[in-house]
Chain A
């Protein structure tokens, strides 16, 4: 079946620190992989995505590379800001079926000045 396992939080970093949030997946087919972000009081927003192996998704300074050999899609940012404080969800979509998303449990990031 399809599942996503991501690093448990919460994660607290100082401004300008390096961020890594680990994500690994199990899928029956060849999934697309996503990172969604949920800011306080708001809905989920797509942060970045990758649709095939070795693709790198990037947006707003965040990056993640689709690693089929390690079934991973770790999220990284070189220098976090206070405004990056949010909950981050890793997700996959199994392309063999409908466009259903399977989410991890989320990682709460707090960036302190």
Chain B
């Protein structure tokens, strides 16, 4: 069964360092999402791609976060510099299309900032 892949699964870093997360969506899925899930809360959308284009990044803290999907397949989310409040689970999801299509989630990357 096709799955969304994410790496690393766990990342520990010190504040002010740079971190990067990688996501490989299910083959053929044009839409890719990055969510942040703070402990005890539900996931919140950070950025949405349709192919290589950003559809929605209104909740992405652009002073320190960046995301790219250069070839419209896999994607990287970067944080520079990391802050203590960035400690969370970062989830990637993909769907076949943009409207009314089920989103499939990866296992997530748990980030701890010390």
- Our pick among A32, A103, A105 for the contact of B100 (Cβ within 8 Å) is A32
Establish whether residues B99 and A43, one from each chain, have CB atoms under 8 Å apart when the complex forms: no
The prevalent SS among residues of B at the interface is loop
Beta-carbon nearest neighbor of B9 in chain A? A41
Residue interface bits B39-53, CB-to-A below 8 A is 1, else 0: 011111100100000
Q: Tell me, yes or no, whether A57 is within 8 Å of chain B by CB.
A: no
Chain-A contact segment, one of B64-72, B80-88, B104-112: B104-112
Interface residues on B, range: 20 to 34
Assembled-state Cα–Cα distance A32/B103 (Å): 13
Q: Tell me, yes or no, whether A91 is within 8 Å of chain B by CB.
A: yes
Taking CB atoms and an 8 Å cut-off, the chain B residues in 14-42 that contact chain A are 31, 33, 40-42
Establish whether residues A103 and B43, one from each chain, have CB atoms under 8 Å apart when the complex forms: yes
List the interface of chain B (C-beta within 8 A of A).
Answer: 4, 31, 33, 40-45, 48, 55-56, 91, 93, 95, 97-108
Q: Tell me, yes or no, whether A85 is within 8 Å of chain B by CB.
A: no
Assembled-state Cα–Cα distance A106/B91 (Å): 15
Q: Tell me, yes or no, whether A93 is within 8 Å of chain B by CB.
A: yes
Establish whether residues A98 and B99, one from each chain, have CB atoms under 8 Å apart when the complex forms: yes
Beta-carbon nearest neighbor of A45 in chain B? B105
List the interface of chain A (C-beta within 8 A of B).
Answer: 4, 32, 36, 41-46, 49, 51, 89, 91, 93, 95, 98-101, 103-106
Give chain A residues whose Cβ lies under 8 Å from the Cβ of B43: 44, 89, 101, 103
- Give 15 new A-B contacts, CB below 8 A, not counting A43-B4, A44-B43, A99-B100: A4-B42, A42-B107, A43-B105, A43-B106, A43-B108, A46-B102, A49-B102, A51-B100, A91-B42, A95-B99, A98-B55, A98-B56, A98-B98, A101-B103, A106-B41
Q: Which 3 A-B pairs have the closest CB atoms?
A: A103-B42, A43-B105, A44-B105
Establish whether residues B107 and A99, one from each chain, have CB atoms under 8 Å apart when the complex forms: no
Cross-chain pairs A/B with CB under 8 angstroms, 5 sampled: A32-B100, A41-B107, A99-B99, A103-B43, A104-B42
Chain A nearest CB from B114 CB (Å) reads 22
Assembled-state Cα–Cα distance A46/B44 (Å): 16
Establish whether residues A100 and B56, one from each chain, have CB atoms under 8 Å apart when the complex forms: yes
